[in-house]
Structures are given as structure tokens and as C-alpha cells.
């Protein structure tokens, strides 16, 4: 037969359980705006019954566990999507910076400066003996050279800046790997008693998501609750141990590139900010520099070939107008800058002839690039257009990936996020349960008082 003390104990357990449930609800409400917080749910379970005659009798209720509401499939999708968003966001940003360096189309852009340079030759051809047009030509040529220098320096400077960013992001990965290792230790210790360390797991998941924006991250959870973390399938966290990523400067075609190293081997993330950063630095910027050098070399070669065949005002010939071979070394020859009469405008040696200058002005419209298929302007315009198109594609992809991420995060929030309406409803239910438990205690107390009164104790 069940005793009054056992009835009182049932009421006590119910009071305690519903009070605990109310505290969980309060925790959810308090963290409604906390990033990365997963709502928690108390799991009520009937306590072990007593075997008595005529049959087992329940002994009340208990909180078996505090469940952290997560959908692992959606979490994995969000993690992967964060890598895609990080990659296209960084790609769009870097390509926009390259576009700003080229500064096209503007009056200070290379296209306009090339056009001004060849137009100056036309002016010289009209007045080959006058000093003024020659001075303007020399100035335009100097501006052209300086613009080539500036563009190449800025593009190379972008590589230097990216190297610094690679080092910075690598340090961030190492720092976050250490944080995950520390959380692993705390989670294993906290869960050794059989309970789930919900808040610690939320913090760890938040850090994993932050890592996912940087690179392709893979995770594997062990039975003890610790998490192994991989970058491009190279482990960087194993329980409480970490493998530190390092950086190493290498020289590729005369350009200093900072590589990410894993145990002495080059590590190349396949997605995330670092993948985009390395791709733009290693592939796209060198390609644009090469095209800039090609354009500069073609202008140098084309102008010099024609200029050497002409004559200056003093009858000298075979003089080069430009020196240098690429965008960083192109310049007006020192001899020309010292004596503008050496500019070869004549094709016959007669001072009044401007045929060579005219021929040089027409070089602007000659098909000298891409195996005789493009002019200088066409070649450069196609390069600028390619950068613009790539940048636009990155921006479009970023919008698309952000839209998909928003959908996934909304669904994730519907599963794991805190709904105030739902929590208010739970609060009312737990309050009613608490009040009912209190009535059990009150009833048991009343019965005790009745019995004590019957024996004359009360």
C-alpha cells in the first residue's frame, strides 16, 4: 500500500520538475536574441514504479534530460553554404578592388591615355617642325609610361596585401581551432555524468560556422562528445589536440606568394574566403598583370619599329622612342627626353615631312594584338570587360548563395530558434503543472493533519 509520505514525495518531485522546466523556458526566453543559441526542451519521464499489491504504482515524474533542439542535416547544409557565401563574398570584394585600380572608363584610365598618346602623334604629323606638338607628345608618352607603372605596381601591391590577409586568416583558423579544442575538453568533462552540455555545444557550433566561412570544413563527432575538425580533409582539431597551420613565402615567376602549410605540405582550401583569396591572387591577378605587360610590350615594339625607320629634325634615324620591355619598365628614351628634335616625324629626312608621325598615329587603329585580330584599345577593353564580367558574376553568385543561405537559416531557426509564443505556451503549461503538484502536496499535508488529529497529536 502506498503511504502518505510517498504521495508527498510524488508532489515534491512534480514541483521540482515543473520548476526546472520553467527555468529552462526562462533560459530560452532570455536568449531569444542570442546568436547561435539553440532552444532547449525539458524531457519529462515517469519515475520508476513501485511493485506492490495489487500492482505497480507510479512514484512521480522527473526531468530525464534537457534536449538541445537541432537538425543535424540542416546544420551541415548551413555550414557548407557559409563556405560558398564566404568564397563569393571575398571574390566579389577583391575583383571590385581590381576594377577600381583600372578605373575604367574615365579620363584618367589607360584607354583614354593610350588614345591621347596616339592622337598626339597625329598633331605632330600636322606640324612636324614645331616644338609645341613634340612637347605635348613627350608629355603624353610620359603619362602613358607612368600609368603603366602605376597599374602594375597597384596590381602587385594587391598581391602583397592578399599575402598579409592569408597570414591573418591562417592565424584566425589556428585561434579558433584552439578554442574548439578547449570547448571539447569542457564538453567531455561536463557530459561525463550523462548530461548534455547544451550551451557549450552552441558555442562550439558557432565557432565551426565561423571557420566554415574561411575554408571547407569537415567535422566528425566522437562518442565522448568531442569534435574532430578538418580543413580540406586535414585534421586541425582532434579532441583536445590541434595541428597549427603555418605560412611560407615562395617565389613564383618573380612574385612573392604566401602559401598555407600543413605539416610541411601546401594546403589549398577548396571553398570559403581563403579559396577565393588564393585563386584571385594566384590565377586572376597574375593573368591581368601578364596582359598589361603584353600590351605595354606591344606598344613599345610597334612604336619603336616605326620610329626607327623615320628621321628627326636633325636627320638622325634608327632611334628608339621607348625603352623597356613591359609595364614596369616602359619609358620614353632618355635621348628623346633630352632632345625632342630626335622624335622621328619624317619618313624622308625632310624637316617638313610628317609621314612617320602619321604612320605612328595610325598604329592605334592597326590590328597588332591577338595575332592580328585586335587593336591596342580592343585588347585592353577586352581585358577590362573580362574583369568586369568576372566581378559581376561573383556579385550575382553572392546574391544567389546569400538567398539560399537565408532559406536554410530560416528553416534552421524554425527548428532551433526560440519562438516566444511557443515559450509562453510552455510556461503556462508548466505553471499549471506546478500548481497541480502544489495541490497534491497540500492534499497530502491535509491527510497528515487528519491522521494526527485522529490520534490526538494535532
Domain residues of the chain, as ranges?
Answer: 4-69+417-454, 77-406
**Residue 104 confidence (pLDDT):** 87
**Residue 221 confidence (pLDDT):** 95
DSSP, collapsed to helix, strand or coil, labels residue 96 as: helix
Angle between helices 72-102 and 131-191 (to 10 degrees): 160
The string of pLDDT tens digits covering residues 231-256 is 999 999 999 999 999 999 999 878 89
- pTM for this prediction: 0.88
What is the rounded CA–CA span in Å between residue 283 and residue 255?
Answer: 12
15, 25, 14: which is closest to 425 by C-alpha?
Answer: 25
Residues of the chain with pLDDT under 70: 1-2, 55, 456-458
Angle between helices 198-214 and 131-191 (to 10 degrees): 160
Q: What is the mean pLDDT of the chain?
A: 93
What is the rounded CA–CA span in Å between residue 337 and residue 331?
Answer: 10
DSSP, collapsed to helix, strand or coil, labels residue 64 as: strand
Angle between helices 272-279 and 131-191 (to 10 degrees): 160
Grid cell 605632330 is found at 124
From residue 393, alpha-carbon distances to 19, 88, 154, 369, 385 in Å are 55, 9, 23, 27, 12
What is the rounded CA–CA span in Å between residue 404 and residue 385?
Answer: 28
The string of pLDDT tens digits covering residues 4-20 is 788 888 999 999 999 99
**Residue 453 confidence (pLDDT):** 77
Amino acid at each position: 500500500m502506498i503511504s502518505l509520505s510517498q504521495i508527498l514525495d510524488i508532489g515534491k518531485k512534480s514541483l521540482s520538475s515543473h520548476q526546472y522546466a520553467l527555468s529552462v523556458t526562462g533560459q530560452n526566453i532570455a536568449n531569444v536574441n542570442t546568436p547561435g543559441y539553440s532552444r532547449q526542451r525539458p524531457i519529462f519521464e515517469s519515475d520508476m514504479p513501485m511493485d506492490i499489491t495489487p500492482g505497480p504504482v507510479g512514484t512521480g515524474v522527473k526531468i530525464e534530460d534537457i534536449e538541445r533542439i537541432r537538425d543535424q542535416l540542416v546544420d551541415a547544409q548551413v555550414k557548407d553554404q557559409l563556405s560558398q557565401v564566404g568564397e563569393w563574398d571575398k571574390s566579389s570584394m577583391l575583383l571590385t578592388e581590381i576594377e577600381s585600380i583600372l578605373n575604367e572608363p574615365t579620363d584618367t584610365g589607360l584607354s583614354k591615355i593610350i588614345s591621347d598618346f596616339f592622337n598626339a602623334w597625329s598633331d605632330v604629323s600636322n606640324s612636324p617642325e614645331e616644338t609645341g606638338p613634340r612637347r605635348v607628345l613627350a608629355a603624353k608618352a610620359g603619362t602613358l609610361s607612368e600609368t603603366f607603372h602605376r597599374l602594375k605596381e597597384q596590381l602587385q601591391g594587391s598581391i602583397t596585401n592578399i599575402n598579409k590577409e592569408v597570414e591573418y586568416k591562417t592565424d584566425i583558423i589556428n585561434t579558433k581551432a584552439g578554442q574548439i579544442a578547449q570547448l571539447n575538453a569542457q564538453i567531455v568533462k561536463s557530459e561525463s555524468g550523462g548530461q548534455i552540455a547544451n550551451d557549450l555545444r552552441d558555442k562550439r557550433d558557432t565557432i565551426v560556422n565561423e571557420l566554415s566561412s574561411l575554408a571547407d570544413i569537415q567535422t566528425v563527432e566522437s562518442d565522448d562528445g568531442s569534435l574532430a575538425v578538418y580543413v580540406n580533409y586535414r585534421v586541425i582539431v582532434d579532441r583536445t589536440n590541434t595541428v597549427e597551420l603555418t605560412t611560407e613565402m615562395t617565389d613564383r615567376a618573380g612574385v612573392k606568394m604566401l602559401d598555407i602549410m600543413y605539416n610541411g605540405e601546401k594546403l589549398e582550401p577548396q571553398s570559403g574566403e581563403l579559396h577565393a583569396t588564393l585563386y584571385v591572387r594566384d590565377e586572376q591577378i597574375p593573368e591581368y598583370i601578364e596582359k598589361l605587360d603584353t600590351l605595354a610590350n606591344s606598344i613599345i615594339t610597334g612604336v619603336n619599329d616605326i620610329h626607327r625607320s623615320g628621321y628627326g629634325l636633325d636627320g638622325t634615324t634608327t632611334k628608339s622612342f621607348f625603352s623597356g620591355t613591359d609595364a614596369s619598365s616602359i619609358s620614353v628614351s632618355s635621348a628623346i627626353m633630352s632632345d625632342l628634335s630626335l622624335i622621328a616625324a619624317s619618313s624622308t629626312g625632310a624637316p617638313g615631312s610628317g609621314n612617320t608621325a602619321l604612320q605612328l598615329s595610325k598604329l592605334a587603329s592597326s590590328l597588332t594584338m591577338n595575332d592580328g585580330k585586335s587593336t591596342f584599345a580592343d585588347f585592353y577593353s577586352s581585358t577590362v570587360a573580362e574583369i568586369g564580367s568576372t566581378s559581376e558574376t561573383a556579385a550575382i553568385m553572392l546574391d544567389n548563395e546569400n538567398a539560399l543561405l537565408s532559406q536554410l537559416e530560416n528553416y534552421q531557426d524554425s527548428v532551433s530558434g526560440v519562438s516566444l509564443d511557443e515559450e509562453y505556451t510552455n510556461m503556462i503549461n508548466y505553471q499549471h503543472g506546478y500548481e497541480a503538484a502544489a495541490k497534491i502536496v497540500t492534499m497530502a499535508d491535509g491527510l497528515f493533519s487528519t491522521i494526527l488529529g485522529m490520534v490526538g497529536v494535532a
